[in-house]
Amino acid sequence: MKKFTSFLAGAIVGGLVGGIAVLLLTPSSGENLRAELQQKVKNIQIEIKTAAKEKRAELEEELQKLRAPAAAEETTDVSVE
């Protein structure tokens, strides 16, 4: 979870820094600039959602691996009387 939080914080900070750099360095008109910024924000949102889905799948797979030995132990612990 720590890696994902670090990634998320980095993505947000990177997006903000990039946005400020665009505002300061662009020769575009205001309307074009707003359109570009909106597209960049959408791209960042897509990246974050993709990273979250990948991390969730990774964690779910790890959880299944951890549960599998526990489930196997439960079935072998049944005693016959």
Give the pLDDT mean for 53-72. Answer: 88
Give the pLDDT mean for 33-52. Answer: 90
Question: Across all residues in the chain, what is the average pLDDT?
Answer: 83
Say whether pLDDT at 56 is over 80: yes
Instruction: Answer whether residue 81 is part of any domain.
Output: no
Give the per-residue SS3 of the chain. Answer: CHHHHHHHHHHHHHHHHHHHHHHHHCCCCHHHHHHHHHHHHHHHHHHHHHHHHHHHHHHHHHHHHHHHHHHHHHHHCCCCC
For position 51, what pLDDT does the model report? Answer: 93
Query: How confident is the model over 3-25, as pLDDT tens digits?
Result: 888 888 889 999 889 888 877 77
- The angle formed by the CA atoms of residues 16, 29 and 47, to the nearest 5 degrees, is 30
Instruction: Answer whether residue 28 is part of any domain.
Output: yes
CA dist., res. 24 & res. 11, Å (int): 20
| Domain housing 71 | 2-76
**pTM, 2 dp:** 0.50
Instruction: Answer whether residue 32 is part of any domain.
Output: yes
Instruction: Answer whether residue 33 is part of any domain.
Output: yes
Structural domain count of the chain: 1
